[in-house]
Amino acid sequence: MLENDSVSPTLAERRAEATREGVIEAAWTLSRSLGLTGWSMRELAKAVGIKAPTLYAYFDSKDAIYDAMFRQSYEQKGSSGDAEPYLAAHGERDAFKLAAHDFFDFCTDDPTRYQLMFQRTIPGFEPSEQAYAASQRSYERFAQQLAAVGVADQAHLDLWTAMISGLTAQQISNDPTGDRWRALVDTAVDLFCDHVGIPPTGDQNP
């Protein structure tokens, strides 16, 4: 690990960073075909074209690789699928439905990523402070989005989280290629909106 506090990275640092990203990308590819814990450091090294011990020049441990993947996932989640643009263009219930489907699809699009982000499935792995902070920022953005449409009560946030993530989890583990629980998302959102007092779409003057 180089130390260089100047503004522009040296060429060596840029090259090292490129290698790091290549390692992470290869780790994703292996994880999607063999499972998150289905590959060894030796296999990963071979996929990148280096020897296993060289990996330790870029990452302190296998868990550090998982950590980078974890953090990257939460940053991806932030940079796509924000529901806010919808709010101006749609009625409020439709905004909730779009937000729910955004999350649902983000999870089902990449079950391996979902497993890393939301299941505690890798023995011994716990996200570092920085990676955990990325997940916290993601939750904060989510909370602010719901606050923007009038849902600020913590209990309401928790109910939303449980309902949408519950549907998602069932879909991924019981019907990964189908739509059995996806088809229930709109119904669940309507139940939630009834509960928190969001008026039905088209009913703007209660």
Interface residues with DNA (CB under 7 A) are: 2, 12, 15-16, 19, 39-43, 50-54, 56-58, 60-63
**Which among 6-14, 21-29, 143-151, 192-200 is the span making contact with a second copy, rule CB under 8 A?**
192-200
Q: Read off the tokens for 37.
A: 């814990």
State which residue, 152 or 162, has the beta carbon closest to a second copy: 162
Among 126, 140, 194, 203, binds a second copy (CB under 8 A): 194
Shortest Cβ distance from residue 106 to a second copy (Å)? 17
Stretch that binds a second copy, among 22-30, 129-137, 140-148, 189-197 (CB under 8 A): 189-197
Q: Which of residues 115-134 bind a second copy (CB under 8 A)?
A: 119-121, 123-124
By C-beta, is 13 or 75 nearer to DNA?
A: 13
CA–CA gap between residue 193 and residue 195 (Å, rounded): 5
Partner from DNA, a second copy, none contacting 103, C-beta within 5 to 8 A by type: none
Say which amino acid occupies 92: E
Closer of 87 and 134 to a second copy (Cβ): 134
* Whether the Cβ atoms of residue 164 and residue 188 lie closer than 8 Å to each other: yes
Q: Are 44 and 35 in contact (CB under 8 A)?
A: no
Decide if residue 152 touches a second copy (CB under 8 A). no
Letters for 155-184 (x = contact with a second copy by CB under 8 A, - = none) are x--xx-xxxxxxx-xx--x------xx-xx
**Shortest Å distance, C-beta 54 to DNA:** 4
Give the shortest CB-48-to-a second copy separation in angstroms: 22
- Judged by beta carbon, residue 16 or residue 169, the one nearer DNA is 16
- Name the binder of 15 from DNA, a second copy, none, CB < 5-8 A by kind: DNA
3-class secondary structure per residue, the chain = CCCCCCCCCCHHHHHHHHHHHHHHHHHHHHHHHHCCCCCCHHHHHHHHCCCHHHHCCCCCCHHHHHHHHHHHHHHHHHHCCCCHHHHHHCCHHHHHHHHHHHHHHHHHHCHHHHHHHHCCCCCCCCCCHHHHHHHHHHHHHHHHHHHHCCCCCHHHHHHHHHHHHHHHHHHHHHCCCCCCCHHHHHHHHHHHHHHHCCCCCCCCCC
